[in-house]
Amino acid sequence: MYLAGVSVRRVEDITEALWGSKVSPATISELNKKPYIHIEDWRNRPLQCGRYPYVYVDGIYLRRNWGGEYGNVAILVAIAVNEDGYREVLGAAEGMKEDKASWVNFFQWLRSRGLDGVKLIVGDKCLGMLEAVGEVFPEAKYQRCHPGSSPPRGCGGGFPG
């Protein structure tokens, strides 16, 4: 419930209504640490599936609860197709902007984890992304995606679930 944006106070109320006892804020905090460790391990894993000739990138905006206040946060996402034709989510970085500096940092982070062999990057018409592609992957071509389609044909409108 907490990860879905329900406040700690509401979690306490709901658990009391369901089970007759409250789950303390400390318990909620400790329980939430466990999945975050696995998420960070996954986010920072080495990319070992060989070369990734096709990479699809997008910035996705989600509403997030920051200490009781809601605001939009950008998440940069990369999905690639490896040489065997299999898709893989390479990474996601929260709190970035869709400016050149953020895209450069994101691409360099992916490259530091093993992203190699990029021939084509597909994304929207974000100028910062386009500039970053030229800087970090000068050997790769860039193709603008078509709205409403999904990898491997193109991206747009967010990635498929």
CATH architecture of 54-144: 2-Layer Sandwich (3.30)
Between these two residues, 65 and 100, which has the higher pLDDT value? 100
**Which residues neighbour 93 within 8 Å (Cβ) at sequence distance 6 or greater?**
75, 76, 105, 106, 109
* Model confidence, pTM: 0.73
**Which residues neighbour 57 within 8 Å (Cβ) at sequence distance 6 or greater?**
76, 77, 78, 79, 103, 106, 121, 122, 123, 129, 155
Q: Is 95 left (phi over 0), alpha (psi -120 to 50) or beta?
A: left
The token duo for 105 is 């940092």
Number of neighbouring beta carbons within 10 Å of residue 136: 19
Residues comprising the chain, all counted: 161
Q: In the predicted model, what is the mean pLDDT of the chain?
A: 83
What's the DSSP call for residue 80?
Answer: E
Between these two residues, 58 and 158, which has the higher pLDDT value? 58
* Residue 67 clears pLDDT 70, i.e. is over it: yes
Residue carrying the six token digits 């994101």? 106
One-letter identity of residue 134: G
The pLDDT tens digits for 75-108 are 999 999 999 999 999 999 986 788 999 999 999 9
Confidence of residue 146 (pLDDT cuts 50, 70, 90): low
Sketch the domain layout of the chain as residue ranges: 8-43, 54-144
Give me the pLDDT at residue 2, please: 63
Confidence of residue 37 (pLDDT cuts 50, 70, 90): confident
